[in-house]
Structure formats: C-alpha cells, structure tokens
Amino acid sequence: MSVLTDNFSLYGKGLWGTVQLTLLAGALALAVGVLIAGFRVSPVKALRVFGTVWVTVLRNTPLTLLFFAVLLGLPRFGVVLPFMVFAVLALGAYTSAFICEAVRAGINTVPLGQGEAARSLGMTFGQTLSLVVLPQAARSVIPPIGSTLIALAKNSAIAGSFSVTELLGTYKPLNELGYGIVWTFVWIAVGYLIVTLSIAGIFGLLERRFGVAR
Amino acid sequence: MPADPLIVLSGVNKHFGQLHVLKDIELTVGRGEVVVVIGPSGSGKSTLCRAINRLEPVQAGTITVDGQPLPAEGRALARLRADVGMVFQSFNLFAHRTVLDNVMLAPLKVRRRGKAEAERKARELLDRVGLLAHAGKLPAQLSGGQQQRVAIARALAMDPKAMLFDEPTSALDPEMINEVLEVMQQLAEEGMTMVVVTHEMGFARSAADRVVFMADGQIIEDRVPEDFFTDPRTDRARDFLSKILHH
Ligand SMILES: Nc1ncnc2c1ncn2[C@@H]1O[C@H](COP(=O)(O)OP(=O)(O)OP(=O)(O)O)[C@@H](O)[C@H]1O
Ligand SMILES: [Mg+2]
C-alpha cells in the first residue's frame, strides 16, 4: 500500500508522461488521420494511392518496430530530436492509420446524395468534405475514435522502453527500491484506468452531444 | 436551333463499363427555354441531366454552358457548377443544417457573400416557396414536398443561369406533387432556363417549350409538346405515351 504514498511524485511524473504522450500523439493522429481519410476519398488518384499506402504500412507494422524505425532511422537523416518527440511521432503516425479508417468508414455512412448536392452547388472537394460530409460522419465516427485513443493511451507504454518517462516505466525504479511487484502494478493499472476512463467519459459526452442532432 | 444557346451538348457519349448509356447526344437548350426530358426507365435521362454539370463524366463529346466548355475536376468545374442549379429526386438537403442554413451555405462559402446579404436573400427565397415559417427547422422535420421546395430555394440562392431537375416529384406523395410543380411552373414563367426530367405530362404540356424523348441512350424525338403528345412520330414514343397516359 505504502508504495503509492511513499512514491507519489514518481507515480505522478509517470502518469503525467502518459497523459502527455496520449494528448500529443492523439492530437497528431487526429489531424493526420482526418487528412489521410480526405486523401483516400479524394478525386485525385495520387492522393488516394498515398493514403492507401500510408494506412497499409502503418497499420501492419508492429508498433515496437515503428519505434525502432523512428528512433534509429530519423537520426540517420540528421533529424535529432528529444526521445519524447520521437515517441509522439511514432505513436501519432501509427494511430493515425486507425483514425483514418474510422473516419473513412464514417464518411461511407453519409448518403452519396449529400456530397452530390454540395458539389452541384459549386463547393470544392474540401468544402464538400468539411462543411457537409464530415459533420454528418462525426456521429458514427466518435465511438471508434474513442476506442482508438484508448488503445493509444495503453500503447504509449512502449515509449517507456525507449527512455521516455511514462507510467509503466515507473515499475523499474520501484522494483529496485524493493517494493512488492503486485502493488506496484496495481497502482500502475489504476493510473491507466484514470486515463482511459477519462477518454471514455469525454467521448461519451461527445456522442451524446452529436447524437441528438437530426 | 434556339437563337441564344445556353447549354449545348454535342456528340456526347457515355459508358458505364460495357453499358452504352448516352449515344451521340446532340441537344441545345436556349436561354429561357424549358426542356422536358421523358423516356422509359433506364433510358439515360438522369445520366444526361447529371452530365450537364459533370456529376457524371462523359467519355466523348463536348458540353458547354454559356459558351464555356465543362472543365475537368477542380476549381474551374466547381465555379461552373455554381451557375447551374440542380434539384434531385431525393431532395438531398443537408441533414445536419437548418432549412435557412441549407439555403445560405453555398452563397456564403462559394459566392462569398456577406452573412446579412445571404440571409436576407435566403429568407426572401424561402418566403417565395412558402416556407419562411420553417426556416429554423431541420430537413427531417419537413414533409417531402416542403423539402423539395427548400431544395429549389437552395439552388436558386446561387442565382443560377440554368436549373436541372431530375424527377423532382417522383419521390413525393400525390398530394404534394402540385405544390412543387407550382413553384417550377412559376420559375418557368419567369424565364428560367430549365431541363426537367419528369413524368408529369401536365407540367410538360403547360410549361415546356420542347419535349425530348429518350430511349436506350438516344434522343429519339425533340419536339414542341403539343405535337409530341398528339402525334408522336416513333413507335417507341407512341408506346411509351400510351403506357403512362392510361393509368
Ligand atoms: N453509377 C452507375 N453505374 C453503372 N450503371 C449505371 C449507373 N447509373 C446508371 N446506370 C445505368 O445506366 C442506365 C441509364 O440510367 P439512368 O439513371 O440515366 O436512367 P433513367 O432514364 O434516369 O431511368 P429512371 O427513369 O429509372 O430514373 C441504366 O441502365 C442504369 O442501370
Ligand atoms: Mg433517373
């Protein structure tokens, strides 16, 4: 029990690391994911191909491998950044592929006539997507995006193996200090629960907010 | 050949895979003219209508609107589409926006008009189609006939040079058909250039300058309504007319 009270600041730092990774990588994944979903439904073939390749590669690469690729690969090209930034890039890119597919599935639930009406009024592809299609896709996209971000929060634990401060990684110093492994992990699990339940709560609210329209 | 052509299709051919849906279409619609397109199901009427503002690309031939050839995708095409209003069988009002927003959206975002001006114009048009009282509602709260009248107002808000109607009353209950036809009739009288795919023969007789009869992707007759209805030249047309007029 005392493992928590004695090491509150260590836990706190770990939890904050996980929250930061989740927020930053989540924001990156949402922005890139929606953009790539736009690519995948665009009238321009090159963009569609790029989108398909992006999703296929990232979704089918083990996340750990992606971390190695970013952490070892980018410095070869002279890109040297803090580990935290590398971790956000790897997590964000990986998660963007799943966000993209959730958004694309949502776009497909919007009747074709909506986009046709928008285009017949002279809207460009971007206007059609952002003003007409995506707002109507939002409702069906919110739950799977919530699940994807919850997965992201848990996936962020991998960053701990790459010298980034995050929640799971706190077990190492605690273990060295001689605390029991069971309680150490129980409190770590509670930390993850706080993060994931918060995400679930926020997305539940969003779903209610957007669920009433129409 | 109309004196002042606005929409000109020349040698237009369209395939869906193996299916040849538009065959060597030649059609000129003059400014202020109302052309009604009729024909059996699958004859290519919708495809023709949609080709005019390039919702369907065609493989051969040229389509010009007000002298401008239709560009490929992109901003130039969007600009041209803004000048051609389209009304669909299934209304296609933006489901997440109010009636007023539906009418204002494109003037704001495409024409980049000011908010006050766009709203004033939208209210004026809604008043004209008799729906100003419903401005704050969502489309799903309106009847089909009301939705279709909003759709017409939405298209008119762009000050189009021409309007395309693809079976605008086919999805409506019988008692709502007339309220939509009346709006269209009035538009025709005001001199709007219109291409109307419809099976409403009463509208064709009273509003159309020409009736175009299509079958199997071809234009088989292109005549003044009175001549067409009283004395169709082709067996296909005679056969079709006897079927739709006798039930
Ligand atoms: N997107 C499409 N893909 C493949 N074939 C299509 C497509 N749209 C239409 N067709 C086919 O093209 C032909 C012409 O269709 P079109 O919708 O233009 O006919 P129509 O005259 O409007 O018929 P209706 O009176 O039933 O509306 C039909 O055989 C139809 O099945
Ligand atoms: Mg049709």
Whole-number average pLDDT of chain A? 92
- CA dist B173 and B171 (Å) reads 7
Ordered by start, the domain boundaries in chain A are: 2-210
The Cα B247–Cα B238 span in angstroms is 15
Fold of A2-210: MetI-like fold (1.10.3720)
Lookup result for tokens 């495809």: B47
For residue A124, which residues of chain B lie inside 8 Å, CB to CB? 75, 78
For A48, counting Cβ atoms within 10 Å of its Cβ (0-12 exposed, 13-18 middle, 19+ buried), the class is middle
Q: Is the pLDDT of residue A120 over 50?
A: yes
Ranges A173-177, B33-37, B73-77, B147-151: which has the least confidence: B73-77
Ligand 1 pocket mutation pick from B14, B15, B18, B19 by most atoms within 8 angstroms of CB? B19
Other Cβ atoms less than 10 A from the Cβ of A147: the count is 14
At residue A8, the pLDDT reads: 86
Provide the token pair at B229: 């209805």
Residue A114: which of B73, B83, B95 has the nearest Cβ? Answer: B95
- pLDDT tens, A40-70? 999 899 999 999 999 999 999 999 999 999 9
Angle at B155 between CA B66 and CA B43, to 5 degrees: 70
Q: Tokens for B76, please give them.
A: 């130039």
pLDDT at B76 over 90: no
What CA–CA distance (Å, rounded) separates B212 from B226?
Answer: 12
What string of DSSP letters covers B39-83? Answer: -STTSSHHHHHHHHTTSS--SEEEEEETTEEPP-SSHHHHHHHHT
If you measure CA to CA, which chain A residue comes closest to B164? A120
Average pLDDT taken over every residue of chain B: 93
Q: Is the CB of B163 within 6 Å of ligand 1?
A: no
**What ipTM, to 2 d.p.?**
0.91
Confirm if A193 and A18 have CB atoms less than 8 A apart: no
Instruction: Note residues around ion ligand 2 (Cβ under 5 angstroms).
Output: B 46
CB of B109 within 8 A of CB of A127?
yes
- pLDDT, mean of residues A1-19: 87
pLDDT cut 70: percent of chain B above it: 98
Pairing of strands B68-69, B210-215: unpaired
Cα A40 to Cα A129: distance, rounded to the nearest angstrom: 12
User: Mind listing the pLDDT tens digit for each residue in A130-178?
Assistant: 999 999 999 899 999 999 999 999 999 999 888 888 889 888 888 888 8
Phi-psi group of B178: left, alpha or beta (phi > 0 → left; psi -120 to 50 → alpha; rest → beta): alpha
Partner residues linked to A14 by β-bridges = none
Q: Which pair of structure tokens corresponds to residue A154?
A: 């848990």
Which residues in chain A (145-204) have CB-CB distances under 8 A to chain B? none
The pLDDT confidence band at residue B1, using thresholds 50, 70 and 90, is low
- Region B195-212: mean pLDDT is 94
Mean pLDDT check: name the lowest of A163-167, B169-173, B237-241: A163-167
In this structure, are residues B240 and B212 in contact, taking their beta carbons and an 8 Å threshold?
A: no
In Å, what is the CA distance from A46 to each residue of A51, A97, A102, A171, A176? 9, 18, 21, 47, 53
Which tens digits make up the pLDDT trace of B35-66? 999 999 999 999 999 999 999 999 999 999 99
φ, ψ at B83 (rounded to 5°): -90, -5
Provide the residue type at B240 as one letter.
F
% of chain B with per-residue pLDDT over 90: 85
More confident call, A200 vs A183: A200
Beta bridge partners of B222: B212
Ligand 1 touching residue B42 (CB < 6 A): yes
| Contact of A70 with A89, CB cutoff 8 Å | yes
Q: In this complex, how many residue pairs, one in chain A and one in chain B, have their CB atoms less than 8 Å apart?
A: 70
* Cβ atoms A137, A103 nearer than 8 A: yes
pTM of the model: 0.89
- What is the spatial distance between Cα A45 and Cα A47, in angstroms, rounded to a whole number? 5
Residue A130's identity, in one-letter code, is S
Distance (Å) of CA B145 to CA A6, B105, B130, B169, B172: 71, 21, 11, 8, 6
- Distance (Å) of CA B67 to CA B6, B50, B62: 7, 18, 11
Q: Which residue of A lies nearest to B104 if distances are taken between CA atoms?
A: A121
Helices then strands, each counted (H, E), chain B: 9, 10
Residue A103 host element (H or E): helix A83-109
- Give Cβ neighbours of residue B137 (< 8 Å, ≥ 6 apart): B98, B99
Mean pLDDT of B119-126: 96
Give SS3 for B155: helix
Looking at residue A214, its pLDDT comes to 47
How many C-beta neighbours within 10 Å does residue B185 have?
Answer: 16
Q: Which ligand is nearest to the CA of B16?
A: 1
pLDDT at A94 over 60: yes
